[in-house]
Amino acid sequence: MSQTLPVSPADDVTVLIFGASGDLTSRKLIPALYRLHKDGFLTDKSLVIGVARRPKTDESFRNELLAAGSDHARDGMDLDSWNRFAQRLHYVQADLGSHEDFLALRQQVETLEQQSGLSGRRLVYLSTAPELFLPSVESLAAAGMIPPSDQRDKLRVVIEKPFGTDLASAEELSQQLSRLLAEDQIYRIDHYLGKETVQNILLFRFGNAIFEPLFNRTHVDHIQITVGEAQGIEGGRGGYYDKAGALRDVLQNHVLQLLCLVAMEPPASFEAEYIRNEKLKVLQSLSPGRPGGAVGEWAIAGQYAAASIKGKRVKAYLDEERIGEDSRRETFAAMQVRIDNWRWAGVPFYLRTGKRLPARVTEIAIQFKLPPLNLFHTVECDGDVCGIVDARPNTLVFHIQPTDSISLTFCAKRPGMTYQMQPVKMDFSYQNSFSGGLPEAYERLLLDAMRGDSTLFTRSDELEAAWRFLDPVLKEWESANHRPELYPAGQWGPKAAHELLGRSGRAWRTPELEFNPPKPTVTDTMDMKPVE
Site of interaction with ligand BG6 (CB under 6 A)? 229, 249-250, 362, 401
Sign of the Cα torsion 67, 73, 76, 78 reads: negative
- 254 included as an active-site residue: yes
With respect to ligand BG6, which residue has the nearer C-beta, 236 or 291? 236
With respect to ligand BG6, which residue has the nearer C-beta, 92 or 256? 256
Q: What is the DSSP letter of 525?
A: B
Nearest distance from residue 245's CB to ligand BG6, in Å?
Answer: 10
Between 256-263 and 272-284, two packed helices, what is the crossing angle to 10 degrees?
110
With respect to ligand BG6, which residue has the nearer C-beta, 92 or 316? 316
Give the Cα separation of 366 and 222 in Å (integer). 6
Catalytic residue among 90, 222, 254, 399: 254
Give the Cα separation of 83 and 365 in Å (integer). 44
| CA-to-CA dists, residue 470 to 165, 285, 464, angstroms | 11, 13, 10
With respect to ligand BG6, which residue has the nearer C-beta, 138 or 229? 229
Nearest distance from residue 285's CB to ligand BG6, in Å?
Answer: 25
H/E stretch holding 420: strand 420-429
Are 56 and 469 in contact by the 8 Å Cβ rule? The answer is: no
Instruction: Tell me the sheet residues that pair with 227.
Output: 353, 362
Are 53 and 22 in contact by the 8 Å Cβ rule? The answer is: no
With respect to ligand BG6, which residue has the nearer C-beta, 133 or 215? 133
With respect to ligand BG6, which residue has the nearer C-beta, 347 or 359? 359
H/E stretch holding 239: helix 238-246
* Residues in Cβ contact with 147 at an 8 Å cutoff, skipping those fewer than 6 apart: 154, 155
Give the Cα separation of 204 and 197 in Å (integer). 10
Type of residue found at 235: G
Closest chain position to ligand BG6 (CB):
249
Give the Cα separation of 357 and 361 in Å (integer). 9
| CA-to-CA dists, residue 46 to 116, 249, 315, 439, angstroms | 8, 33, 46, 21
Instruction: Tell me the sheet residues that pair with 186.
Output: 157
Give the Cα separation of 378 and 364 in Å (integer). 25
With respect to ligand BG6, which residue has the nearer C-beta, 229 or 320? 229
With respect to ligand BG6, which residue has the nearer C-beta, 25 or 401? 401
Nearest distance from residue 327's CB to ligand BG6, in Å?
Answer: 16
Nearest distance from residue 82's CB to ligand BG6, in Å?
Answer: 24
| CA-to-CA dists, residue 211 to 201, 208, 224, 509, angstroms | 11, 7, 17, 22
Nearest distance from residue 229's CB to ligand BG6, in Å?
Answer: 5
Nearest distance from residue 236's CB to ligand BG6, in Å?
Answer: 12
Nearest distance from residue 43's CB to ligand BG6, in Å?
Answer: 28
Nearest distance from residue 360's CB to ligand BG6, in Å?
Answer: 7
Are 337 and 298 in contact by the 8 Å Cβ rule? The answer is: yes
Q: Residues 499, 500, 504, 509: what is their CA dihedral angle, to the nearest 10 degrees? A: -90
Nearest distance from residue 89's CB to ligand BG6, in Å?
Answer: 25
Are 212 and 206 in contact by the 8 Å Cβ rule? The answer is: yes
With respect to ligand BG6, which residue has the nearer C-beta, 118 or 158? 158
Nearest distance from residue 249's CB to ligand BG6, in Å?
Answer: 5
Smallest CA-to-CA distance from 333 within 229, 181, 431 is with 229
With respect to ligand BG6, which residue has the nearer C-beta, 245 or 393? 245
Between 167-178 and 133-142, two packed helices, what is the crossing angle to 10 degrees?
10
Residue 377 CB burial class (10 angstroms; 0-12, 13-18, ≥19): middle
Please compute, for residue 257, the number of CA atoms within 13 A of its CA located in the half-sphere on the CB side: 25
Give the Cα separation of 499 and 359 in Å (integer). 21
Active-site positions read 254
